[in-house]
């Protein structure tokens, strides 16, 4: 496999191969050594991915040499991979469309069920507003905590333990 990988490196342009060839070979050897403990099928998949990546990379480099480095491909060369220009994987739009279709189908079925049921329940009258009972306890709790904090500050002030008095004492000692 190593000889085959070295032969495939010759698909790259000469300048790219001279600049990055040894580094690419070293990275492949390291990845292959990490892959030797896996099963045979995993090793075959690894080698196929490396070969395809090498061929694709060589094609891209030749296109960049021919048309410039700022060439953007209109057809994506990778599937389901996030790139810098995108926030979500490509499958997000498909999944969101499927979810929307599911919601629409559920609403339609719910309407069908609602129309098929007999109207045995009498209509509900107007709903009366309910006054909130949450605000008085919240205000009471805030008043209690504010009073406790004020009492603690008053005790510290009386004992001359607050930071203001300590700083005042320190400045008098320095003079």
* Per-domain residue ranges of the chain: 2-67, 136-174
Question: Quick check: 120 and 129 in contact, CB under 8 A?
Answer: no
pTM of the predicted model as reported, rounded to 2 decimal places: 0.40
Sequence-ordered list of residues with C-beta below 8 angstroms from that of 12, at least 6 positions apart, any chain: 20, 21, 57, 58, 61
User: Could you read off the pLDDT of 103-140 as tens digits, one per residue?
Assistant: 999 999 988 887 887 766 666 777 788 777 888 889 99
pLDDT of res. 80: 47
Sequence-ordered list of residues with C-beta below 8 angstroms from that of 4, at least 6 positions apart, any chain: 51
């Amino acid at each position: 496999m190593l000889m085959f990988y070295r032969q495939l490196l010759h698909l790259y342009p000469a300048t790219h191969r001279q600049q990055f060839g040894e580094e690419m070979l070293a990275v492949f050897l390291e990845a292959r050594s990490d892959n030797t403990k896996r099963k045979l099928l995993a090793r075959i998949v690894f080698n196929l991915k490396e070969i395809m990546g090498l061929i694709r990379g060589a094609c891209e480099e030749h296109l960049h040499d021919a048309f410039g480095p700022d060439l953007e491909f209109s057809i994506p060369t990778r599937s389901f991979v996030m790139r810098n220009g995108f926030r979500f994987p490509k499958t997000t739009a498909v999944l969101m469309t499927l979810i929307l279709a599911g919601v629409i189908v559920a609403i339609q079925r719910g309407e069908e069920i609602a129309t098929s049921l007999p109207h045995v329940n009498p209509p509900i009258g107007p709903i009366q507003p309910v006054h909130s009972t949450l605000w008085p306890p919240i205000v009471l709790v805030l008043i209690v905590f504010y009073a406790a904090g004020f009492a603690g500050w008053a005790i510290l002030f009386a004992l001359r333990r607050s930071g203001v008095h300590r700083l005042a004492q320190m400045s008098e000692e320095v003079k």
